[in-house]
Amino acid sequence: MIGITILGSTGSIGVSTLDVISRHADKYKVVALTANRNLERMVQQCKRWQPAYAVMADADSAEQLRVQLKSSAAQVNVLSGQDGLQQVAGLAETAYVMAAIVGAAGLLPTLAAAKAGKRVLLANKEALVLSGRIFMDAIHDSGAELLPIDSEHNAIFQCMPGNVADGLAGAGVERILLTASGGPFRTRSLKELEQVTPEQACAHPNWVMGRKISVDSASMMNKGLELIEACWLFNTTPEYIQVVLHPQSVIHSLVEYADGSVLAQLGNPDMRTPIAHGLAWPKRIQSGVAPLDLFDIARLDFEMPDLERFPCLRLAGEAMQKGGTATAILNAANEIAVEEFLAGRLRFTDIAKIVELALTNIPVVEASSLENVLAADRHTRDYAMTTVQELTA
Ligand code: NAD
Ligand code: MG
């Protein structure tokens, strides 16, 4: 049996992971589950999965979880806070860690899994955006395995040759083609984008996801974060990555080779495919995803992205080129702006404005230490909050 910790088990990726595991109870054992404050779902999950540990990041929620589990048969050790999250990421009983906390909050627990030499199933793209070098070094130094779960990166991984440690060119790779659905606002004009609501932004045409990543998909910041994620995962730079709009979300990304071959990975848009791939790699297991019906799909479309209407994609590329803490600044400003948009206090088009102001005005330093990265993250959050207040005053 392979022991698994699921960081962010109550979220969209966490729930899909448990769904795949439920189909393979003979192979995988849930050792630890974690959430922020979704008590109701965590109580259900603890009763169903009987993990040895459950962590609530929020201390009050942890206390309530203890009370609610007292009367149940589940023997669960309840922990709380960042310490608890990091502890269950490194447990001896755990071989695989699904990193599916949303946002910068996932960085330290994901890094703890990397340092502990686990198989890290990486959904939390923010860990690489904040501290790509530190994270990749931790993976290499500990001998951990890194399996990308983000559907595009999982597709690229599947289409890549075995060893790209010496760079992509040495392996005959010319380019990575990173696909994007274009989100719910792909055809909206800039004028229309000023008026869109959080509900419209969260209604993704092809994928069901948490609210933060849904807004990022609508602004195309998600593709920007994924561009940065791909650079770190595949040891490359933005010039070697072309973003391709593909509204059907059937091709999850492609790799172009020197001889003209282009390899693609296709499938229905359902995160259980990359999750099952990461769990079983290098084998294959059932995921519960319906087979792809090409006759039903009938056609596949491709377009160039429009950086005028979707400036977040441009800003992410620029931040990656700049290097250092620029991508941490991009991420933190975006997290604050998205929260404010979801709370109805900021217009959709102001998200990119906040990010651009942060990138213009906050000094970039080397991202050589975790302290530098976390300081940039904190400073940017303060800056972004002040800027939101000025913009909306
Ligand atoms: P979600 O909002 O549905 O779930 C987030 C999880 O993280 C929940 O369990 C929540 O309790 C926990 N969490 C939130 N804040 C926390 C905090 N401060 N401390 C500790 N735990 C906290 O998000 P999601 O859609 O499942 O996405 C999770 C991650 O996976 C994100 O980084 C996202 O970019 C990435 N991802 C998601 C999808 C998808 O289809 N949902 C696809 C690719 C990548
Ligand atoms: Mg993705």
Kindly give the distance from the C-alpha atom of residue 8 to the centroid of ligand 1, in angstroms, as a whole number.
6
Q: Could you give the CA distance from residue 367 to residue 364 in angstroms, rounded to a whole number?
A: 9
The best mutation among 17, 156, 213, 338 to test binding of ligand 1, ranked by most ligand atoms within 8 Å of the C-beta, falls on: 213
| Per-residue tokens: 111 | 């890094």
Of 317, 289, 279, 315, the residue nearest 178 (C-alpha): 317
**2-148 and 323-392, same CATH topology:** no
Question: Domain 323-392 carries which CATH code?
Answer: 1.10.1740.10
From CA 40, how far away is CA 107, in angstroms rounded? 25
CA of 191 to the centre of ligand 1 (A): 31
Q: Could you give the angle at the alpha carbon of 62 between the alpha carbons of 45 and 149, nearest 5°?
A: 50
The answer to whether the CB of 121 is under 6 A from ligand 1 is no
Asked if CATH classification 3.40.50.720 holds for the domain at 2-148, the reply, yes or no, is yes
Neighbours of ion ligand 2 (CB under 5 A): 150-152
Q: What is the pLDDT along the chain (393 residues), one digit of tens a residue?
A: 999 999 999 999 999 999 999 999 999 999 999 999 999 999 999 999 999 999 999 999 999 999 999 988 879 999 999 999 999 999 999 999 999 999 999 999 999 999 999 999 999 999 999 999 999 999 999 999 999 999 999 999 999 998 777 789 989 999 999 999 999 999 999 999 999 999 999 998 888 899 999 999 999 999 999 999 999 999 999 999 999 999 999 999 999 999 999 999 999 999 999 999 999 999 999 999 999 999 999 999 999 999 999 999 999 999 999 999 999 999 999 999 999 999 999 999 999 999 999 999 999 999 999 999 999 999 999 999 999 999 988
Parse the chain into domains and list their residue ranges.
2-148, 163-268+291-297, 323-392
